[in-house]
Structure 1
């Protein structure tokens, strides 16, 4: 039963793991993949992947998208791999957004791209998320809410989980800007539950946003619960960048809210350091970090340190045209200026800064900030004794609170929290019922097994004695078999030694007999040299005969030495150091050596050599000297075969040796083909046997092909031959890749 459950979990888990791997792919890593050599179809898939995971809210990424789209269109024109209509609308939208600065046209084109992606059933969660900041840039909060609310209903009907998660994320931000914390947190938790199935970074991000929103709402306990959960997951999944900055901001603000100023300053410094180390949004994140640290320093009553920090943040904000709403959350630069000027008792500037902050929050429909800013403006006006502005802002504040409280209630608990708890309880009940049914099934199976075990014990007890007796008899038989096997192994060893010794003795006997015979004849000739004086010219004739005899003795001694040398090479083959080798270069080197050998130099000049060497061969792991010996043997045999047929005197015969290499599925292949006389079936059957040769006595040891066969085999390759009498022979060598 356990293995069945394990298999089911693996089958269910694989798609989930694949989804996480796809959406968690790093854009820069995919850029490196794109730079490698790839087929056009693979490059198209990589480009689509990059466009799926890119975030257009990153300014640097927006500029990179246009060249990617252009390359996609160019490749798709050749492969016709996909319908590129949605990508053409995407390019138009990004071009309006980045190049021509026409946000309305950009929004319209991106809407059209999303509709086309929906028709193709291609999920685009990050593109949907990117629309949120574009709507903010246009100040169209109501239009954003209506669009994503409509798309959410559509995706629910279609079951498009990835796109549902994106819609919940954007809607959560809309509700939060309106100050509707109940609906905002419910949307964030909905998004987190959906992102958990395919995007870990956004899953932890939504838990963190839910925690910070609870903190703004006033439920510190819930805020800590979600922030701690997100922090653990960030560490587990090694998530940095915006995610880490957001977490540090949230913890800083929570400590600031609770009066833990030393901890708040520590976390603010960590947030600023994280922002400065970010490779993508360093400047924007640094502005957030500077404002956050300024707020903590003002709470610590250290306003002198704040001025330079805010000036630096203001410079970054002006150059990047940063809004009060951004990816890391509220950008409270004007409100922090107001607090700074108040601490320096520069009340006119403080009043102007509060006005700017409130106007920006109102224009962005950032309802969560309006009551917060109104409360601080009321305190500021009260401290100055400005009665009329005080009454005006107090009236606006009370009206706004009534509206927000009517929409949310007073329990400070999001509606979706209850749904999650109920769902968790239902899952727990279902799990308990499932476990109970499994326990009942196991109990029945155990009772059945006990009955079967009792019967089995009786049978085993009856068979035990017979098995024991048979075991004793088999042990005795096994001991006898092992003794016999040992004797057979020893006999086979000595038989092999005898066979090899007989072969060596036979091969060495011929040259030794010749050497003995010529030595005896030479001795007789020396004995008769004393009689040379009686016969004119006889002494010179005897000396000439002695010279010829000594030459014969030397040649047969060289032949015996060659036999011994080849036997030694048999024993040493494959013991050298292997190295990655260019096979074509090695082949050409030994082909030249074969053509220049003393035995074939004159005849080889009349042989046509055709080479067909594959240019894309991989490097091969081999001992170059050993493999060169194989090639030399094959080439010289081929030259010998065609020259022997040429000597037969065929009028129309043209000797040809063809040499080719090609890449195979497992490595490389060498073919050496000749149009010589070929081999009979009897010769073909023994061609790789040691000491077997068809050459005349004294011209070959019969060890060349045997040695070549062993060398190729020691390299993990194969050597085979095909031949037909009157047509020629072909030797084929296959070698594995290094």
Structure 2
């Protein structure tokens, strides 16, 4: 009673004070390859379906190799779901169709339509798909549908803000930030990047760091190095803290290197260029692409150091990589300024014709990609180049295009080079501080009331416990006397039951041993009389040979009944030893194959079971069970031998169409494994079925069974924490079902 009162008091305290809940980032931080390794060792179909759904949530379809890997993964998901009926396949069917069309690389509009439908179905199911939304951006780029991309993601952002789907909101802000950056609208781009970062911070550390990094690089391009350095340092710290590698680490190193180059810190920029090439060398997935970016950046640094001869081999290698990989002017690592760098190289070598050619290529590619930021940058550099070589007309044409584009961009953004969302973030932080102070004030008042309530509850509890203590003390004195009486009665009851059990077992053993001993005594007396007859001269008359034959038969009978008595004693000893061995994790299927073979090779059944059909259906992914293997093998041998005996017995009286069959199967069940042994033999009556596990009970003829096999089997299974049951009917066979807990 005292324990219950204290438990109630603790429960009240916890319910009043409450406990904090820590946020988890593990789901979205999972790596596709790590999940694939986990998938290979999942024991059940249900767990494999969950893992595959997780893999599809975090996969990045922008990587071509991932698109080819996802298709067989989806086929596996559908096969598993046909058995488990665990999920609605409709969105995954649309996803499969979209990826198949994307892989073909010629049917992008159809692929986009299928992926849009998949996202709508995921939205209807309330299942967030931020990675799938982000993966749509490069598909829009491949189709040169910049306006359609912006319209789609602005519409989806509005929908997700109404539905409060934060993960999908973050993805939309990310893609829209890239859209505005390509158009050269740095103000809007940075605002969207920072908004995405704030949302990703709550569930996805890698993308949170990535958006801070992209905001920093965009500030650098806009001309605000202080802001750029602020966000790049934040992103670098997060990359190091959470051990983020691959593209994100490469992009961060490249961004800092470019900022150093922009500020004229050339030795530091060269150090970052070498670091980029080392990172590319160590990357086993995107190493070739990273190497091309690193070679171009190092060439830019060398050109800034007036080392044009050293830049030539680097640019040549970068060109070979770009041609073989078909690299666009902008991709996931950012701007790929190969043509612009060639132009700088040829300008340094005073080869104006080649420089003009490469400036034209760079500007054409930026225009085709609708990358306004690059167009503005390249126009400024082309104007300087044309003016330096005295091409007045070309300078005027490019200058007109530059100022027209610049006017368009200036209308969309302010002139203070600070994104609007920076001010919004400051205001949001102030509002959050005000709300937090108000909440703290309310919480203080609540805690004061709770403290007063607790004091009252504690005082009442002390009085209650004091009264209960007196009652409990008195009750304990009474209970001590009662307990002593119960222990005395229990000891007497245990002794009575022990001797009753000994008497029952002794009677059973005596009864079972009496039959073979009576036979042995009778045959011994007959043999003695026959020997006396041989010594009687009056009755010899040629009967010696006949008497010797009879003696040999009697001795064989005595031997057989002695063997039967020995078998009874052996089975009783096995009863006493069952379950005393060392348990080990065991493959039940291998144990079944071994003892099924032994059962068929038994001398008394070998000739009779040749026509018996043995059917096995063993679960290939059956978990291990912790058992004493010889004991469980003894159980299997009993069940297999009994099944073979039953079908052989029925074969004696059945018609020619009867096929004696023994069926053995295993299957995994929640927390256990199941073994079934079924035969189509003679079957059992209800009376026999009720006594089948009793010691010394058998339906076999005298001399063929001790009646201890199934009793011993039942004891062994129970000692392992399992169950054994039987279902049977006369003329329709018998089935034994065993369950054992998994290891």
User: Which is further off, 711-720 or 414-423?
Assistant: 711-720
Q: Does 1:181 align with 2:179?
A: no
Task: Please give the TM-score of this superposition, normalised by the length of structure 2.
Answer: 0.74
1:426 aligns with one of 411, 428, 431: 431
Partner of 2:639: 631
Which residue pairs with 1:613 in the alignment? 615
* Preserved contact between residue 60 and residue 135 of structure 2 (Cα < 8 Å): no
Could you tell me whether the CA contact under 8 Å between 2:133 and 2:168 is conserved in 1? yes
Q: Secondary structure at the match of 1:689?
A: coil
Could you report, residue by residue, the CA deviation over 1:33-78 in whole angstroms, capped at 9, with x for unpaired residues? 79x9999xx999979985995535x4556778899999999999xx
> Is residue 663 of structure 2 the alignment partner of residue 660 of structure 1?
yes
How many residue pairs match? The answer is 707
Shift of residue 209, structure 1, vs aligned partner: 0.6
Superposed displacement of residue 185, structure 1: 0.3
Aligned position for 1:327: 332
Instruction: Note if 1:255 corresponds to 2:256.
Output: no
Give per-residue Cα distances to partners, 1:504-525, cap 9 Å, x unaligned.
3443355446556766776788
Aligned partner of residue 701 in structure 1, secondary structure: coil
Alignment of 1:458 onto 2:463: yes
Task: Give me the whole-angstrom Cα distance separating, in 1, the residues matched to 2:238 and 2:286.
Answer: 23
Q: Could you say which structure has the larger radius of gyration?
A: 1
Tell whether 2:678 aligns with 1:674: no
Q: Tell me if the contact between 2:599 and 2:641 (Cα under 8 Å) persists in the aligned partners.
A: no
Distance 2:462 2:74 in 1: 74
Structure 2 counterpart of 1:732, from 714, 732, 736: 736
- The aligned counterpart of 1:562 is 567
2:648/2:660 contact within 8 Å kept: no
Choose which of 702, 709, 731 in structure 2 pairs with 1:704.
Answer: 709
In terms of mean alpha carbon deviation, does 458-467 or 546-555 score higher? 546-555
Correspondent of 1:274 among 265, 269, 279: 279
Mean Cα displacement is larger for which, 506-515 or 444-453?
Answer: 506-515
Match among 210, 219, 224 for residue 215 of structure 2: 210
Could you list the per-position Cα deviations for residues 133-158 of structure 1 after superposition, in whole angstroms to 9, with x for gaps in the alignment? 56666777667656755665676667
Matched, 1:190 2:184: no
Separation in structure 1 between the aligned mates of residue 699 and residue 73 of structure 2, nearest angstrom:
67
Aligned to 2:230: 225
CA contact (8 A) 1:231 1:247 kept: yes
Q: Is the 8 A contact 1:117 1:124 kept in 2?
A: no
Separation in structure 2 between the aligned mates of residue 333 and residue 157 of structure 1, nearest angstrom:
44
Contact 1:630 1:708 in 2 (8 A): yes
Alignment CA distance shift 1:510-1:258 (3 Å): same
The match for 1:449 is 454
Q: Deviations over 1:540-582 (max 9, x none)?
A: 4987776666555434433322222222333444548854435
Q: Distance in 2 between matches of 1:131 and 1:171?
A: 12
Q: 1:468 aligns with which of 464, 473, 476?
A: 473
Deviation sequence 1:365-422 (CA, Å, 0-9, x none) = 6454466556666777898899999999889878877776665444332101121222
Q: Distance in 1 between matches of 2:75 and 2:589?
A: 42
Question: Quick one: which of 105, 117, 128 aligns to 1:98?
Answer: 105
Which one of 61, 76, 81 corresponds to residue 55 of structure 1?
Answer: 61
Q: CA separation in 1, counterparts of 2:369 and 2:551?
A: 119
State the partner residue of 1:296. 301
How far residue 287 of structure 1 moved from its aligned partner, in angstroms, is: 1.6
CA contact (8 A) 1:276 1:282 kept: yes
Assess if the C-alpha contact under 8 Å between 1:719 and 1:731 holds in 2.
no
Would you say the 8 A contact 1:610–1:657 is kept in 2? yes
What residue in structure 2 maps to residue 240 of structure 1?
245
**Cα pair distance change 1:63/1:635, threshold 3 Å:** closer
Corresponding residue of 2:270: 265
Cα gap change, 1:701 to 1:667, in 2 (>3 Å):
closer
Quick one: structure 1 residues 734 and 309, their matched pair in 2 at CA, closer, same or farther if it must change by over 3 Å? same
- Does structure 2 retain, via aligned residues, the 8 Å contact 1:590–1:631? no
Structure 1 position 733, deviation (Å) = 3.6
1:19-418 alignment, distance < 5 Å: 20=28, 26=32, 53-56=59-62, 58=63, 82=90, 90=98, 94=102, 98-99=105-106, 106=108, 109=110, 116=117, 122=123, 129=134, 132-133=137-138, 164-196=169-201, 201-235=206-240, 239-300=244-305, 302-341=307-346, 357=362, 361=366, 366-369=371-374, 408-418=413-423
Tell me which residue corresponds to 1:103. Answer: none
CA distance in 1, matches of 2:408, 2:657: 105
Could you list the runs of 5+ residues in structure 1 that have no partner in the other structure? Answer: 101-105
Contact 1:656/1:675 (<8 A) preserved:
no
Q: CA 1:62–1:369 in 2, change beyond 3 Å: closer, same or farther?
A: same
Deviations 1:590-623 (A, max 9, x none): 56446x618x97xx69xx9775735455568654
Say whether the 8 Å CA contact 1:675–1:728 is kept in structure 2. Answer: yes
Distance 2:362 2:80 in 1: 50
In 1, Cα distance between the equivalents of 2:14 and 2:310?
Answer: 64
Q: Is the 8 A contact 1:169 1:191 kept in 2?
A: yes
SS at 1:613's partner residue?
strand
Q: 1:297 to 1:704 in 2, by over 3 A?
A: same
CA–CA distance in structure 1, aligned partners of residues 224 and 478 of structure 2: 83
